[in-house]
């Protein structure tokens, strides 16, 4: 995982991000500095990173309502909107710049189609088994913040 999700060539002692992570918080910092929940009171999510730097991330609002029709194609406009706005998923490749404390996501595909093929950077912190990152500000100035706890590391 040399230049990918693990050790940078110039810093062989850098920790690895490879493994499985569970979502602890999905918040947003508003322009006034206050922090609010972005995906409800108890968001659910997984982040998986392999040794080659391939990743998949899923974030879900736990309070998303079930579709009354019990059929994905039969959802109402409100149910469809809640499903889309209550989730964020993407996958691709991840590289880490340990010196700059920056993650570089090369997004292959996403639940938000506009992100397909984008490269996005996020500042991050890693403290023991807790990884957090900030997404660049949204048009309204809010900064999404994701916090993850390591569940497992890859086996050697």
Question: In whole angstroms, what is the distance from residue 64 CA to residue 87 CA?
Answer: 9
Would the pLDDT of 38 be above 70?
A: yes
**Average pLDDT in the 8-17 region?**
64
Predicted TM-score (pTM) of this structure: 0.85
Q: pLDDT at position 70, please?
A: 85
**3-state DSSP helix/strand/coil percent for the chain, to nearest 5?**
10, 45, 45
**Average pLDDT in the 81-108 region?**
96
Q: For a pLDDT cut of 90, what percent of the chain falls above it?
A: 85
Tokens of 83: 């499903």
Tokens of 149: 């706890």
Report how far apart, in Å, the C-alpha atoms of 67 and of each of 81, 84, 88, 112, 149 are: 11, 13, 18, 21, 31
Q: What is the mean pLDDT of the chain?
A: 90
Q: pLDDT at position 121, please?
A: 96
Q: Range with the lowest mean pLDDT among 9-13, 76-80, 97-101, 130-134?
A: 9-13
């Amino acid at each position: 995982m040399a230049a990918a999700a693990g050790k940078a060539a110039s810093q062989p002692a850098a920790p690895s991000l490879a493994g499985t992570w569970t979502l602890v918080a999905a918040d947003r910092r508003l322009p006034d500095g206050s922090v609010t929940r972005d995906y409800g009171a108890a968001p659910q999510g997984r982040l998986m990173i392999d040794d080659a730097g391939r990743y998949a991330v899923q974030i879900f609002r736990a309070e998303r309502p079930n579709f009354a029709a019990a059929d994905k194609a039969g959802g109402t406009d409100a149910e469809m909107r809640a499903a889309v706005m209550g989730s964020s998923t993407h996958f691709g490749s991840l590289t880490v710049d340990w010196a700059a404390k920056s993650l570089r996501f090369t997004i292959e595909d996403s639940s938000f189609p506009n992100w397909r093929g984008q490269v996005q950077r996020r500042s991050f912190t890693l403290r023991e088994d807790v990884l957090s990152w900030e997404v660049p500000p949204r048009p309204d100035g809010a900064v999404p913040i994701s916090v993850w706890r390591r569940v497992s590391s890859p086996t050697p």
